[in-house]
């Protein structure tokens, strides 16, 4: 898109974690196409820079930002640096994470800690760091009328609107998974972490609703990315199948009968980040071709 004024997210600043490749990269590029300026946050500085370069080629500003989402101090610094560079932050996409395919009885303490640390702990503390910056942007008189976020465990009905906070001051969207909807025998720790993302989303939505900060999640199914290629290899080895067979067997159970692409997910995310979704919060949307209908 060459006209900067035409995007649905024109003037917005977005942070996308894990956006050096795969789903995160697709989301970051789509946000830029819709007018957003993007912080490309990734553990790998080289892939982050590649994504940032592609965004700049679209005529958008982009900042390549190496970050370890398991490091809380780095997350807080990222939020600070984003505001320093762009002046504000409007959107957070909590995409970074990991997966491991392993039978339940073989999962070690190290396996468990790594998956939970990245997928659950990283998601929460990134959300917390960026939400602080979103709240800081709200005019002081409106914040004073609402009170500190820590005191708003259960907001009263219509609290924000009665106090004069209207519109939307931020959009936070985290990636869960259909595995977070129901258990998987070879993904116990991963499924637990993604179920936690759904719970974090609901709790944060309640805490931040008076500030008109929307918090939602999406639950992808099978996605055509390098990560899923690795999942296919692990499942094939575990089930004694040929490479590609495990993925093909899963696709047979998808009503739409194909894997999704990062752009499929990005379409749903753009909607949830737009003003069309200002009245949606605390929800987890399945984007899975009908694989899990709940």
Say which DSSP state 209 is in: G
DSSP state of 179: G
Q: Are 269 and 218 in contact (CB under 8 A)?
A: yes
How far is it, in rounded angstroms, from Cα 273 to Cα 39?
15
Neighbours of 64 (CB within 10 A): 22
Taking the C-alpha atoms of residue 212 and residue 144, their distance in angstroms, rounded to an integer, is 14
Taking CA atoms, 202 is separated from 57, 118, 214, in Å, by 37, 19, 10
Q: Measured between alpha carbons, how far is 201 from 246 in angstroms, rounded to an integer? A: 31
* Neighbour count for residue 267 (Cβ, 10 Å): 12
Instruction: Indicate which residues carry an active-site annotation.
Output: 190
Task: Answer for the pair 238, 103: CB distance below 8 angstroms, yes or no.
Answer: yes
- Going by C-alpha positions, the residue among 65, 97, 66 that lies closest to residue 82 is 65
Chain centroid to Cα 24, Å, comes to 8
């Amino acid at each position: 898109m060459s006209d900067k004024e035409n995007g649905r997210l024109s003037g917005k600043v977005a942070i996308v974690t894990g956006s050096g490749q795969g789903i995160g990269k697709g989301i970051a590029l789509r946000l830029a196409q819709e007018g957003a300026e993007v912080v490309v946050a990734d553990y790998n500085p080289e892939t982050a820079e590649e994504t940032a370069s592609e965004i700049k080629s679209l005529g958008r500003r982009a900042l390549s930002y190496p970050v370890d989402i398991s490091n809380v101090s780095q997350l807080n610094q990222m939020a600070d640096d984003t505001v320093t560079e762009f002046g504000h932050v409007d959107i957070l996409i909590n995409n970074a994470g990991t997966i491991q395919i392993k039978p339940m009885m073989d999962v070690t303490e190290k396996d468990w800690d790594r998956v939970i640390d990245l997928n659950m702990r990283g998601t929460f503390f990134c959300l917390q760091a960026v939400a602080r910056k979103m709240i800081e942007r709200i005019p002081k008189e409106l914040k004073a009328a609402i009170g500190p976020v820590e005191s708003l465990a259960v907001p009263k009905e219509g609290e924000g609107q009665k106090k004069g906070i209207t519109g939307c001051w931020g959009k936070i969207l985290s990636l869960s998974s259909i595995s977070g909807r129901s258990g998987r025998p070879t993904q116990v720790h991963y499924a637990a972490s993604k179920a936690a993302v759904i719970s974090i989303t609901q709790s944060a939505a309640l805490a931040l609703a008076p500030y008109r900060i929307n918090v939602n999640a999406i639950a992808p199914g099978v996605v055509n990315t390098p990560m899923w290629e690795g999942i296919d290899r692990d499942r094939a080895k575990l089930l004694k199948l040929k490479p590609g067979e495990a993925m093909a067997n899963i696709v047979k159970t998808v009503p739409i009968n194909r894997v999704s692409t990062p752009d499929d997910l990005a379409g749903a995310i753009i909607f949830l980040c737009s003003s069309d979704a200002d009245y949606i919060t605390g929800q987890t949307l399945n984007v899975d071709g009908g694989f899990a209908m709940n």
